[in-house]
Amino acid sequence: MKKIAIGTRNQTKIAAVQAVFPKEAYEFVFSNVPSGVSNQPFSDEETLQGAINRAKNIVIKEDADIGIGLEGGVVVDQNKTMWLCNWGALVDRSGIVVVASGARIPLPSEVADELMNGKELAEVMDEYTGKRNIRTNEGAIGVFTNGFVNRTEMYVHIVKLLAGQYEFLIRKDEKEYENN
Ligand SMILES: O=P(O)(O)OP(=O)(O)OP(=O)(O)OC[C@H]1O[C@@H](n2cnc3c(O)ncnc32)[C@H](O)[C@@H]1O
Ligand SMILES: [Mg+2]
C-alpha cells in the first residue's frame, strides 16, 4: 500500500485528498509542516511556494511515497480587486513535482480592506459571518458562493489536477521505458 502524506491538520484539505485517492490503495497520514511563507500569502507566487514547501517537507517528515501540500492565499490585481487563490503541489520520492491552482472568486471590499490592514482571512471570515472556524468548514469560498462550492470541493478539484498530471507523467515514463 502506498503512503500519502498531507502537510496540514485542516480537515477540509485532508478530506479533499481522501476523496480523490482510493482508500483501498493508499494509506493517509497528515501533520503540520512549515509552509516557509507567511501565514497569509499575498500573491500567486507565494501561495504556490507554500504548497510546494509543504509537499516537500511532509514527504520527508513522514517518509511517504507521495507528499501533498495545499495552500490558500489572496491576490490583488491591477484594479485593486482581491481574489481568493489556492495552490496545490504533489511530490514523490523520486523528486517529481506537479502543481495546480484552483478556482478563484473576488472577495467583497469589506473583507479585502481588513486583509490590507494586516488581518488573516480566517479571522476576518469568522468576524464577518459571526461563526467560528470557517477555515475548517465551508471556507470563504463556501460563504461567498452560498454553499454552491465549499472549501473541500475547491481543493478536490486541485487534487484531481495533481493526481491526473502525476499519472500522466508516470504512464509516459513507463511507455518510454517499454519502447527502449
Ligand atoms: O492548517 P492549514 O493547512 O495552514 O490551513 P489554513 O486554514 O490556515 O489554510 P492556509 O494556511 O492554506 O490559508 C492561508 C490563510 O488564508 C486563510 N484562508 C484561506 N482560505 C480560507 C477560507 O476559504 N476560509 C477562511 N480562511 C481561509 C487561512 O486561515 C490562512 O489565514
Ligand atoms: Mg495556515
CA distance 168 to 147: 32
State in Å, rounded, how far the first CA of the chain is from the last one: 29
Query: Which of 135, 154, 155 gets mutated to test ligand 1 (max ligand atoms within 8 A of its CB)?
Result: 135
Q: pLDDT tens digits, residue range 27-58?
A: 999 999 999 999 999 999 999 999 999 999 99
Find the mean pLDDT for residues 67-76. Answer: 98
At 29 the pLDDT is 98
Instruction: Kindly identify the ligand whose nearest atom is closest to the C-alpha of 41.
Output: 1
Q: Which residues contact 30 (CB under 8 A, 6 or more apart)?
A: 5, 6, 7, 8, 9, 14, 58
Q: Report yes or no on whether pTM surpasses 0.90.
A: yes
Confidence category of residue 178, pLDDT binned at 50, 70, 90 = confident
Q: Does domain 2-179 have CATH number 3.90.950.10?
A: yes
176 alpha carbon – ligand 1 mean position (Å): 40
Which residue has a Cα nearest atom 10 of ligand 1?
A: 72
At 53 the pLDDT is 98
Angle at 153 between CA 135 and CA 98, to 5 degrees: 95
ipTM of the complex: 0.92
At 7 the pLDDT is 98
Instruction: Kindly identify the ligand whose nearest atom is closest to the C-alpha of 145.
Output: 1
**Helix and strand element counts for the chain (H, E):** 6, 5
CA 19 to chain centre: 14
